[in-house]
Structure 1
Amino acid sequence: MTADTPLLSVQDLSVAFRQGGRESLAVDRISFDIHRGETLAIVGESGSGKSVSALSVMKLLPYPAASHPSGRILFKGEDLIAADDAAIRKVRGNAVSIIFQEPMTSLNPLHTIGQQVAEPLILHRGLSAEAARAKAVDWLGRVGIADPEGRLDAYPHQLSGGQRQRVMIAMALANEPDLLIADEPTTALDVTVQAQILALLKDLQRELGMAILFITHDLGIVRRFADRVCVMRHGRIVEQGPVVDIFERPQDPYTIALMAAEPRRETRAADPAAPVIMQADDLRVWFPVKRGLLRRTVGHIKAVDGISVAVREGHTLGIVGESGSGKTTLGLALLRLISSEGPIVFMGRPIQGLGFKAMRPNRRQMQVVFQDPYGSLSPRMSVAEIVAEGLAIHHPGLTEEERDARVIAALSDVGLDPETRHRYPHEFSGGQRQRIAIARAMILEPSFVLLDEPTSALDRIVQAQIVDLLRDLQAKRNLTYLFISHDLKVVSALADDIIVMKGGKVVEQGPAERVFKAPENDYTKALFAAAFDLAPVSSERA
């Protein structure tokens, strides 16, 4: 291999999937090269073939349902498509590692964090269990896990989404690979941790000469982090070149639209005297920490520690903060989906302490849209069944025709073709699935909706569409939103008021306009600086 030879060369690659006797192309004759020490980003809309292309490199597609009608994937000169299973096993997790987008489905729920980070070190490096455990502590610390030694015996469900993603990154980097495939590696991370992780990857890239294939929908990260960009649409690369050329002189109409798309803020007169829909005072959610043979409580994780909040009718309250700060825990506590202490009043009625049956009448008025459109929809139910599920509980007297009419109306409201209602979730893109999740929440005509990172898994064009959709639904129905996100650009486009959380506490709150223009708290300033800074990534910056 000469210095000019690419580390990875994808040549005329096609990927087809066979289903029900029919074959359809997901990737259509794409070609690109990556050299040692280089970062190539692949961007594009949901369903464009980005992840399928990356998974092909490690032969992780569901073969034999997937096939390659054309092309070669040369890694260090060896064609990985033609390689046998034994050869591929030597490459996977060793010379080539991957960070997946959704850590909760990628981490084994039955194994501790320490076991999972140590496993590739034992398998590929031959380290003893003790040496691998020590190395795991080192890597968890390097990717920003607080108290890494104490987290070794934790299970994935005991960590926040951002912490789980950092564990995935530690697992991928532990064997110091030649090529790192990063499939949306910062989706679940707040902007300050994003900066830390990207700086860490850059440091390792310089140290190891590692190449990075970076898949993301966050164009801000691409501009700061990548050397070259491939823009994909409908399975094809429509444009590729150096980052500066693509961002400053895009040629393809789709690339131009992608660069121009961004959630926009619209000024509207939210009534400052509107009635309070949701209120909590001194709310606390403490999780016990148990150790020893008898599992005695030795302390508490104070996920939400004495927070008071009030959300007015027709307003959007944005909640931002780093991963593990308690954002989602606060939202779930307000909806009485997890236990908490402190009074909660919904639509003028105290709901803290109400049992399952007593809470049911309130459930129709409070709905939730979750972060992951892939994991929150049942793959065994049609879209019509998913959207109509709440009607069976809260409106049992409706006829089948009446339920179907409401499903059609709900899908139309969120911009989906009602004729597709008998299809299943896997037949839709990520953005379409998120619209289905929104339709499921809206069909019950709620007053209060918890939006937990509803745009984090979506590309930039679809993000802007979803923000516009949520804004339109709010105006039409006078909805009240609790909007949780680490994407401050999306929050600034939608929120009337904002709460900044850190370590389970509120460090700053107030009208969004004021907080974004003149933040007072040092943490808030650092958070905003990381979110809106487009300078190149360097270790000194993080």
Structure 2
Amino acid sequence: MSVSPPILVIDDLSVTFGDGPKAVEAVRGVSFTLAKGETLALVGESGSGKSVTALSILQLLPYPRAHHPRGSIRLDGVELVGASEPVLRSVRGARVSMVFQEPMTSLNPLHSIEKQVAEVLELHQGLRGEELRRRVLEMLTLVGIPDAQSRLGALPHELSGGQRQRVMIAMALANQPDLLIADEPTTALDVTIQAQILTLLKELQARFGMAMLFITHDLGIVRKIADRVCVMTGGEIVETGPVEQVFTAPAHAYTRKLLAAEPGGHPLTPAADAPEVMAADDVKVWFPRKGGLFGRTIGYLKAVDGVSLQVRRGQTVGVVGESGSGKTTLGLALLRLLKSEGTIRLNGEPIDRMSAADLRPKRRGMQMVFQDPYGSLSPRLSVEEIVGEGLEVHRLAADRRERRRLISQVLEEVGLDPTAADRYPHEFSGGQRQRIAIARALVLKPAFIVLDEPTSALDVSVQAQIVTLLRDLQARHNIAYLFISHDLRVVRALADHLVVMKDGRVVESGPAERLFSSPTTAYTRALMAAALNLEVTPGGVAV
């Protein structure tokens, strides 16, 4: 691989938010180069400045609130800091593309996925008609959208989190850019699709000589996909070097801390006589498919098809499977947030036929942490209002002082400074927003929590903290968890029992350790292999 001349040169870059005494320097003195065909990984904890650095390349920071007091960003010798709009338009989406961390906030909720991918191709390649549609289908198929032809008219909310991320990747790769900035591109993807996407990126990179700036908190991915790595903390790069050198002989204490951070420990084992908290018997969630001139029902999408499970006091049941397998739909159905058939019991009491009024007092005992922390937090409410809303609804605080004390306590538990209670979601990094979402569920001390990818947006050290926190809370309060995740390392550290789903059905279930060590179905074996033995090469994935 040629590493000269560099296509991207960043020199002494600084980014400041605000002016005067309240100004915050988010990035300080960042310098690095990136050559054609090279992959450079930016790693570090949430809030370290990784995404701010990446956004600076395309000049997408909110000016004039954010500005560059000093520094240079050159793409093939062209200065981008302070560049004119015509210059930036010729670069954005054509020569440099970006995959953002949160696809639901990046995709237009009112436009079909066909229209959104087509827009990129129309703008930069001038494609029209059948050629345009053929190219859109090609890109959606390339990034692993199942039955792409039938999903062209789908809106973003009709896709799973992983499928939405794949649409974002299709849009970014459509014009075969010289530089791809990938900001947590596999965060929302299950392990098998993650392997496919990483392989796809490497194949395209080898074919077109594309440079890639890869931002991630998953150090396992960094080791397998990157050539060099820059470690960031507090807005500064503290260590740079070839991946193997940094991983095997880290020079900086912070790098050593990151490498040592891994969700660990063992799942709690519930008591033999632990009572049932949540149970499902033959639960089905079928979505009608409309077609024809009059929009008649022509079939059903069987998102959840006859699933039965039980979660006991102090137990964590992990639900794993590929994107679109029905994991999140199952969690929503158990909480009566989606209409379903079958029996659902909370603490032995059937709730599947309860009216909304009868169900309302039960909701304190069953909570959910959603996958997309930005989409589930109101941008108009402060952290105090978001976390404290449940306390107010269920009248769990005697007065404002008690309410503030409970909010401060839970913010500390999830690793946030209680003084952040007066701030708003947009002022936090993706990982910090997820912690706010977790705090909102934990503050009610429910008996049952559905955790839908609760660590997907978190860096590795915070993942380990959250896993430990969830285990501690479970031990202290005997909470039952339904833990939905594609990160099997986290699942292994937390789940006592495992349910494997595919196409809406359970293909295998049992004690977690048995399924990890001796899976009986080919699908589970493939899932475990992809999660635990992923190796990415330009020619494919070896497991």
Q: TM-score, normalised by structure 1?
A: 0.96
In the alignment, which residue of structure 2 is the partner of 1:335?
Answer: 335
Partner Cα distance (2:430, 2:94) in 1: 30
Aligned with 2:368: secondary structure? Answer: strand
In the alignment, which residue of structure 2 is the partner of 1:394?
Answer: 394
Unaligned runs of 5+ in 1: none
User: CA 1:286 to 1:268, structure 2 compared with 1: closer, same or farther past 3 Å?
Assistant: closer
1:254 is displaced (CA, Å) by 0.4
In the alignment, which residue of structure 2 is the partner of 1:104?
Answer: 104
Letter in 1 for 2:406: R
In the alignment, which residue of structure 2 is the partner of 1:478?
Answer: 478
In the alignment, which residue of structure 1 is the partner of 2:130?
Answer: 130
1:21 is displaced (CA, Å) by 6.9
User: CA 1:121 to 1:429, structure 2 compared with 1: closer, same or farther past 3 Å?
Assistant: closer
For the pair 1:257 / 2:262, whether they are aligned, the reply is no
Letter in 2 for 1:481: Y
CA displacement, residues 47-91 of structure 1 (integer Å, 9 cap, x when unaligned): 001011111111111111111111111111111114210011011
In the alignment, which residue of structure 1 is the partner of 2:16?
Answer: 16
Letter in 2 for 1:319: V
1:475 is displaced (CA, Å) by 0.8
1:355 is displaced (CA, Å) by 1.6
In the alignment, which residue of structure 2 is the partner of 1:313?
Answer: 313
Q: Is the 8 A contact 1:99 1:182 kept in 2?
A: yes
Letter in 2 for 1:172: A
Partner Cα distance (1:21, 1:275) in 2: 57
In the alignment, which residue of structure 2 is the partner of 1:234?
Answer: 234
1:145 is displaced (CA, Å) by 0.9
Report matched runs for 1:55-454 at 5 Å: 55-266=55-266, 268-395=268-395, 398-454=398-454
Aligned with 2:6: secondary structure? Answer: coil
In the alignment, which residue of structure 1 is the partner of 2:50?
Answer: 50
- Identity over aligned pairs, percent: 61
Partner Cα distance (2:214, 2:133) in 1: 28
Q: Is the 8 A contact 2:199 2:536 kept in 1?
A: no
1:532 is displaced (CA, Å) by 1.0
Letter in 2 for 1:523: Y
Letter in 2 for 1:34: L
Partner Cα distance (1:347, 1:507) in 2: 26
Q: Is the 8 A contact 1:223 1:534 kept in 2?
A: no
Partner Cα distance (1:431, 1:138) in 2: 33
Letter in 2 for 1:473: L
Q: Is the 8 A contact 1:37 1:211 kept in 2?
A: yes
Letter in 2 for 1:510: G
In the alignment, which residue of structure 2 is the partner of 1:533?
Answer: 533
Partner Cα distance (2:112, 2:426) in 1: 30
User: CA 1:289 to 1:20, structure 2 compared with 1: closer, same or farther past 3 Å?
Assistant: farther
Letter in 1 for 2:485: S
Partner Cα distance (1:102, 1:397) in 2: 34
The answer to which of 163-172 and 417-426 deviates more is 417-426
1:387 is displaced (CA, Å) by 1.6
User: CA 1:129 to 1:52, structure 2 compared with 1: closer, same or farther past 3 Å?
Assistant: farther
Partner Cα distance (1:227, 1:290) in 2: 48
Q: Is the 8 A contact 1:42 1:231 kept in 2?
A: yes
Partner Cα distance (2:297, 2:539) in 1: 39
Aligned with 2:450: secondary structure? Answer: strand
Q: Is the 8 A contact 2:140 2:170 kept in 1?
A: yes
1:237 is displaced (CA, Å) by 0.5
Letter in 2 for 1:410: V
User: CA 1:129 to 1:21, structure 2 compared with 1: closer, same or farther past 3 Å?
Assistant: farther
Partner Cα distance (1:98, 1:418) in 2: 34
Q: How many residues align?
A: 541
Q: Is the 8 A contact 2:534 2:541 kept in 1?
A: no
Aligned with 1:411: secondary structure? Answer: helix
The answer to which of 376-385 and 498-507 deviates more is 376-385
User: CA 1:136 to 1:449, structure 2 compared with 1: closer, same or farther past 3 Å?
Assistant: same
User: CA 1:23 to 1:415, structure 2 compared with 1: closer, same or farther past 3 Å?
Assistant: closer
1:468 is displaced (CA, Å) by 0.7
Q: Is the 8 A contact 2:43 2:230 kept in 1?
A: yes
User: CA 1:392 to 1:412, structure 2 compared with 1: closer, same or farther past 3 Å?
Assistant: same
In the alignment, which residue of structure 2 is the partner of 1:491?
Answer: 491
1:534 is displaced (CA, Å) by 4.7
Q: Is the 8 A contact 2:267 2:493 kept in 1?
A: no
Letter in 1 for 2:360: R
Partner Cα distance (1:154, 1:182) in 2: 24
CA displacement, residues 95-117 of structure 1 (integer Å, 9 cap, x when unaligned): 11111111111111111111111
Partner Cα distance (1:413, 1:122) in 2: 49
In the alignment, which residue of structure 1 is the partner of 2:467?
Answer: 467
CA displacement, residues 199-254 of structure 1 (integer Å, 9 cap, x when unaligned): 11111111111111111111111111111101100110000111110111111000
Partner Cα distance (2:56, 2:48) in 1: 14
Q: Is the 8 A contact 2:268 2:475 kept in 1?
A: no
Partner Cα distance (1:523, 1:347) in 2: 33
User: CA 1:419 to 1:51, structure 2 compared with 1: closer, same or farther past 3 Å?
Assistant: closer
User: CA 1:176 to 1:431, structure 2 compared with 1: closer, same or farther past 3 Å?
Assistant: closer
Q: Is the 8 A contact 1:96 1:179 kept in 2?
A: yes
Q: Is the 8 A contact 2:267 2:494 kept in 1?
A: no
User: CA 1:420 to 1:203, structure 2 compared with 1: closer, same or farther past 3 Å?
Assistant: closer
Letter in 2 for 1:516: F
Q: Is the 8 A contact 1:200 1:539 kept in 2?
A: no
Q: Is the 8 A contact 1:262 1:460 kept in 2?
A: yes
Q: Is the 8 A contact 1:162 1:188 kept in 2?
A: yes
Q: Is the 8 A contact 1:122 1:129 kept in 2?
A: no
Q: Is the 8 A contact 2:143 2:169 kept in 1?
A: yes
Partner Cα distance (1:319, 1:390) in 2: 26
Letter in 1 for 2:529: A
1:156 is displaced (CA, Å) by 0.9
User: CA 1:104 to 1:513, structure 2 compared with 1: closer, same or farther past 3 Å?
Assistant: same
1:298 is displaced (CA, Å) by 1.4
The answer to which of 32-41 and 408-417 deviates more is 408-417
User: CA 1:338 to 1:103, structure 2 compared with 1: closer, same or farther past 3 Å?
Assistant: same
1:18 is displaced (CA, Å) by 1.0
Q: Is the 8 A contact 1:125 1:175 kept in 2?
A: yes
Partner Cα distance (1:444, 1:87) in 2: 51
Partner Cα distance (2:411, 2:340) in 1: 35
Letter in 1 for 2:337: L
Partner Cα distance (2:14, 2:211) in 1: 23
Q: Is the 8 A contact 2:269 2:314 kept in 1?
A: no
Partner Cα distance (2:81, 2:415) in 1: 40
Letter in 2 for 1:465: Q
Q: Is the 8 A contact 1:223 1:536 kept in 2?
A: no
Partner Cα distance (1:7, 1:521) in 2: 47
Q: TM-score, normalised by structure 2?
A: 0.96
